[in-house]
Structure 1
Amino acid sequence: MSFEFALALLAGAAAGGFINGLAGFGTALLSLGIWLQVMPPWQAVAIVAAMSVVSGLQSLWLIRRDLRVGTRLARFLLPALVGLPLGTAALGLVEASVLKLVIAGFMLLYGAFFAFRRTLPQIERPMLVVDALVGFLGGVLGGAASLSGALPTMWCAMQSWTKSETSAVLRPFNVTILGIAVALFAWRGYYTPDTLIMIAIALPATLGSVHIGIWMFRRLTDVQFRRLLVWLLFASGALLTLRELT
């Protein structure tokens, strides 16, 4: 393993862990932007899925007292479990790069529109059908392009929820969906001895940077957190577009 390879591995782990600790999503978008430059896609995706689950579990434990347990998560998660295998099946029919560019364009439009508005729209009343639909599509996108958190994050940013209520949906949602993805990757033999060594090297950087992200999460107001989610969507969409076009 060269010095440049190890540096890229640690940089991707740190970037992904920080975003996961801060917002509960975005690990794949930031880490893959670095790791796909030095390793094949199947290996990069397998590593980022494992890192996402580990960092997500740690962040859930560290902020467990801030989270409010409720029924909102089930409204998203149960439909997502139905959509996940559909997305995995669709991956064999649709070019992943094309799908990612479509989603990246949607994220850019959403982020740009709301980032430059003086106030964000807030949805006050429950919309159970839309919650279920967003969760289902999140599962489909998770199986097809590892973008399980994109649509749920957009929808949650428009709710009149506190940052703790938002995290109580996004964090366990992503951990569960990506945990299932890790099991599928293991079943397909993606976790070779070389891949496991890379995970062992990247893990400390991921876990350490999660703490930094959570430290910032605790110090943001609800309004600041909602706006930050929008900016993260915009930045993630730009990074994903750049990575796919280059």
Structure 2
Amino acid sequence: MNFDLLLYLVLGAVAGGFINGLAGTGTALFALGFYLVVLEPITAVAVVAFMAVLAGIQGLWIVRAQIFNEPRRLLRFVVPGLVGVPLGLLLLGLINASLLRIAIATLLIVYGGYFTFRAALPAFSRKTPLLDAAVGFIGGVLGGAASVSGAIPSMWLSLRPWTKSEMRAVLQPYNMATLCTTVTLLAVKGAYDAVAFQALMVTVPCGLIAAQVGIMVFRRLSDIAFRRLLIGLTLLMGIGIMVSEVL
């Protein structure tokens, strides 16, 4: 392993692990750019997904009480999301994934840009079980069709005036479920070869340590600050998706 490969792997692991620990999402947004410089696309995605799953276990632990307090709320997102992933994969041959990603990016940029610079945050407080399930399902479909499963759930949860732990208790398990599906499908395709294994030997320990740092920062954030973080990540996700499709 040469120095350039090692450097990019460590930088990607630190960036992706930190944001995973901080927000429970956004690992690929911050890590994939580094990995694509030195790895083949399918290997880069495989490494990021696997690292995100392992780092996410730490994030699940810190909100375990909220997960067990509201299991039905979580299942409203996760179950439809898992149903949506294979449907999204089936739609791959029927839709233009690039145009879909551009449309999603535009929505995220408009939403994130609007609320990032507003003093007042949205506050959609009433219970909406059907809408929650629809958001989970759409996220799963978009994950299978365009690899952006967390985009719509992140936007939806940032509308809710919940505590940071309540939001994370939905977002982190949801991302973990879709990522585990991704890892399984990639493993079946043989993506975890010798190159991927070598990369994981570097990225996993670095990512886990960085995630712990992110969790330390998360514990110090106020509920409002965490909502603003999610909105800012929504904007960054939109910009990242748009740049990747346009360039």
Which TM class, normalised by the smaller chain length? over 0.9
In structure 1, the residue matched to 2:44 is 44
CA distance in 2, matches of 1:205, 1:92: 37
My pick for the range that moved more, 66-75 or 36-45, is 66-75
Map 1:72-151; keep pairs closer than 5 Å. Answer: 72-151=73-152
CA distance in 2, matches of 1:51, 1:140: 22
Contact 1:67 1:167 in 2 (8 A): no
CA distance in 1, matches of 2:93, 2:49: 19
In structure 2, the residue matched to 1:214 is 215
Map 1:147-226; keep pairs closer than 5 Å. Answer: 147-226=148-227
**CA spacing shift, 1:225–1:68, aligned 2, 3 Å:** farther
SS of residue paired to 1:37 = helix
Superposition deviation, residue 63 in structure 1: 4.3
Superposition deviation, residue 29 in structure 1: 1.4
In structure 2, the residue matched to 1:19 is 19
In structure 2, the residue matched to 1:30 is 30
My pick for the range that moved more, 235-244 or 207-216, is 235-244
In structure 1, the residue matched to 2:232 is 231
My pick for the range that moved more, 53-62 or 200-209, is 53-62
CA distance in 2, matches of 1:93, 1:190: 25
Superposition deviation, residue 175 in structure 1: 0.5
Runs of 5+ unmatched residues, structure 1: none
My pick for the range that moved more, 66-75 or 165-174, is 66-75
SS of residue paired to 2:218 = helix
* Residue identity in the other structure for 2:185: L
**TM-score where L is the length of structure 2:** 0.94
SS of residue paired to 2:37 = coil
Superposition deviation, residue 76 in structure 1: 0.6
CA distance in 1, matches of 2:99, 2:8: 25
CA distance in 2, matches of 1:85, 1:15: 29
Contact 1:31 1:48 in 2 (8 A): yes
Contact 1:77 1:173 in 2 (8 A): yes
**CA spacing shift, 1:181–1:51, aligned 2, 3 Å:** same
1:150-186, Cα deviation, whole Å (9 max, x unpaired): 1111101101211110011000111111111111111
User: What count of residue pairs does the alignment treat as equivalent?
Assistant: 246
1:112-151, Cα deviation, whole Å (9 max, x unpaired): 0111222111112111111111000111112123221111
SS of residue paired to 2:51 = helix
In structure 2, the residue matched to 1:9 is 9
SS of residue paired to 2:38 = coil
**CA spacing shift, 1:38–1:101, aligned 2, 3 Å:** farther
